[in-house]
Amino acid sequence: MKKWMLRIFGFLLITAVIFWIFFPDGYALRGPLLDKLIGRIAPTPTLEISERRLRAPNGYEVTLWAQGLADARLLRVSPDGSLLVSQTRLGQISHVLADQDGDGFSDGTRVIVEGLDRPHGIDFHEGALYIGEAGAIARVAIAEAGLDTITVAGEVERIVIGIPEGGNHWRRTLRFGPDDALYLTVGSSCNACEEEDPRRATMLRFEADGSGETTFATGLRNTVGFDWQPGTNTLYGTDNGRDLLGNDYPACELNHIEEGGFYGWPYAVANEKTESEPDPEFGDGNEDRVASALPPVHSFRAHNAPLGITFIRRDDADSSYRGAALVALHGSWNRSILDGYQVVSLHWGPDGQITELPFLTGFEKDGDVIGRPVDIAEGPDGAFYISDDYGNAIYRVAKKNSQSSTKTRSAERTATRQTEESAEAAMTAEARLSSISPANRPTLEDRGRALFSEHACATCHVASEALPGVTLKKLERLATRYSIHDLEAFFLAPQPPMPIFDLPKADRHALAIYLLSTHGD
């Protein structure tokens, strides 16, 4: 075959693949994903918006507890009651202060651990905070003497290194089980593939000191949240079903995770009836693996992206919620009609059947998204704290109290936040780049331009160079959303499906400067 024919064939094949990725069954890149990719400013929730939009169950009220927490991910409450949140892209763990002044809101936040490598899962064990980094498990001693007194009492040490990182699912979740062992989930490197590293798409188990690594369960595509049911110590975990098989297929999953269990990926998928079926791409020829796959115990709607799960443990919880589990549905990015974007409660019946009910809704309405729930923590006060990595906020859902917070203080906080948002939206590229020496800037811009070309960024971001069939993710007004530092952090942990480019710090710096110079305003 002649070279020109091979080139045409290759071009058509690439175009077909890209079209299949971005347009299966009417898919379109929209909503929060599109906002992230093009730098559009997300509508940061205000007190007025959250009060108008969000709905909790009868007898409960929702409060915008804390704002300005960029990339707020997993939550955990310390032994003395302090609330911590991981901020993956910032490389830090922050302490969300309690309401000591009585105004009905958190008194603020403070960073307690920083300089981490994409921290995600966090948990406490025997006087230490354990942190799941992208490729390691870290541990640091803590000291407490009551609520909001938590401090770091030593240096961060990596007790496990060499965990496979990168790829599509690079965040690591960890928790200690009832057996005092440390459990860690390692998501798949891709949407659907046969992994080279057998530790991908698994749950691993370690001793508390990081020794004794074993593979606890396999076939778990992306289990971000897991928890043990009180009274039974049964382990349940959420799992995100694969993409690119249509708007409504396959289902996302809740699995009863057992030692040695295989949960299907990539050879089997789940349907809405909680049955395992052969994956259309990898099922053929792997019938024995499909047959051995344990089906989920509950199916969530396709692409709802269930993340954090927390069982309600307090004895004084409402009888209708005692023993139930709360699950954060992060929301779809690749459906033609957005779905998910809420917190649901799961209730186990006497026959073991699970019923799903809405718990906190209103994050998405008619395609308008103000938040994406990530995780839930049950506080020592009986309230539920919910992180949101899109609105950069934490919400508090609690039983209604006759002593409501003052409207004056609420209005003050809303006005302050709106002023901050207006100032951020008015930022220009030159303002963002003012710290760069004029003598060095041309060289940095040239290097950034070369990187932009080398990694073919224009095929998805520049109209004149976009490949046929690609939904253009135009770069515009980046300065209204990102500083140089923000873009450098984004390159390390981009929003899927944008791949991670393993660039050294100097190259990330140059690329950020180039993008702000050319697409900042």
Lowest-confidence segment of 180-189, 348-357, 443-452, 483-492 by average pLDDT: 483-492
3-state secondary structure of 74: strand
Shared domain check, 83 and 131:
yes
**How many domains are contained in the chain?**
2
Mean pLDDT value of segment 305-326: 94
Same domain, 351 and 489: no
**Would you say residue 107 lies in a domain?**
yes
Among 370, 394, 419, the domain boundary falls at: 419
Whether 266 and 304 map to the same domain: the answer is yes
Alpha carbon 506 to its chain centroid, in Å, reads 27
Task: With H, G, I as helix, E, B as strand and everything else as coil, classify residue 505.
Answer: helix
CA distance 301 to 332: 10
Contact 214, 186 (CB under 8 A): no
pLDDT value at residue 402: 39
Q: Please list, residue by residue across 116-147, b when 16 or more beta carbons sit within 10 angstroms of its beta carbon and e when fewer do.
A: bbbbbbbbbeeebbbbbbbbbbbbbebebeeb
Give the end of a domain, one of 368, 399, 419: 419
Rounded distance, CA 120 to CA 190, Å? 19
Instruction: Please answer whether residues 346 and 354 qualify as being in contact, where contact means their C-beta atoms are separated by less than 8 angstroms.
Output: yes
Element of type H or E holding 268: strand 268-270
pLDDT at 497 (0 to 100)? 58
Domain identity same for 117 and 148: yes
Same domain, 498 and 353: no
359 found inside a domain? yes
How far is Cα of residue 478 from the mean position of the Cα atoms in its chain?
22
Q: Is the pLDDT of residue 10 over 60?
A: no
Last residue of a domain, one of 389, 419, 449: 419
- Between 411 and 272, whose confidence is greater? 272
- HEC letters along 143-179: ECCCCCCCEECCCCEEEEECCCCCCCCCCEEEEECCC
Assess if residue 463 is contained within a domain.
yes
Q: Please state whether 401 falls in left (phi above 0), alpha (psi between -120 and 50) or beta.
A: beta
Please state at what angle helix 441-454 crosses helix 505-519, rounded to 10 degrees: 100
Query: Looking at beta carbons, which pairs linking 100-109 to residues 24 or more positions away fall under 8 Å?
Result: 100/148, 103/405, 103/406, 103/409, 104/63, 104/404, 104/405, 104/406, 104/409, 104/410, 105/63, 105/64, 105/65, 105/66, 105/405, 105/409, 105/413, 106/65, 106/66, 106/394, 108/66, 109/66, 109/68, 109/69
pLDDT at res. 299: 96
275 and 358 assigned to the same domain:
yes
Q: Residues 206-215: what's their mean pLDDT?
A: 98
pLDDT digits (tens, 9 = 90+) for 355-410: 999 999 999 998 889 999 999 999 999 999 999 999 999 999 999 873 444 444 45
CA dist 272 and 275 (Å) reads 7
pLDDT digits (tens, 9 = 90+) for 429-470: 888 988 888 887 888 889 889 988 888 888 778 767 766 545
Owning domain of residue 441: 427-519
The CATH number of residue 353's host domain is: 2.120.10.30
366 in the same domain as 277: yes
Helix (H, G, I), strand (E, B) or coil at 36: helix
User: What number is the average pLDDT over the span 153-182?
Assistant: 96
Q: Please give the angle made by the CA atoms of 10, 15 and 21, to the nearest 5 degrees.
A: 130
Domain identity same for 442 and 300: no
**8 inside domain:** no
Instruction: Place 504 in a pLDDT band, splitting at 50, 70 and 90.
Output: confident
Residue 17 lies in a domain: no
**Where would I find the beta strands (DSSP E) of 294-383?**
298-300, 306-311, 325-329, 342-348, 354-360, 364-365, 368-369, 373-378
**The domain that contains 479 carries what CATH number?**
1.10.760
Amino acid at 446: D
Q: Does residue 400 sit in the same domain as residue 450?
A: no
Q: Which residue has the higher pLDDT, 497 or 79?
A: 79
Cα–Cα distance, 241 to 503 (Å, whole number): 30
457 and 411 in a common domain:
no
Computed over every residue of the chain, the mean pLDDT equals 86
- 88: number of Cβ within 10 Å: 26
Cis peptide upstream of residue 497 (ω within 30 degrees of 0): yes
CA angle, 269 as apex, 265 and 272 as ends, to 5°? 145
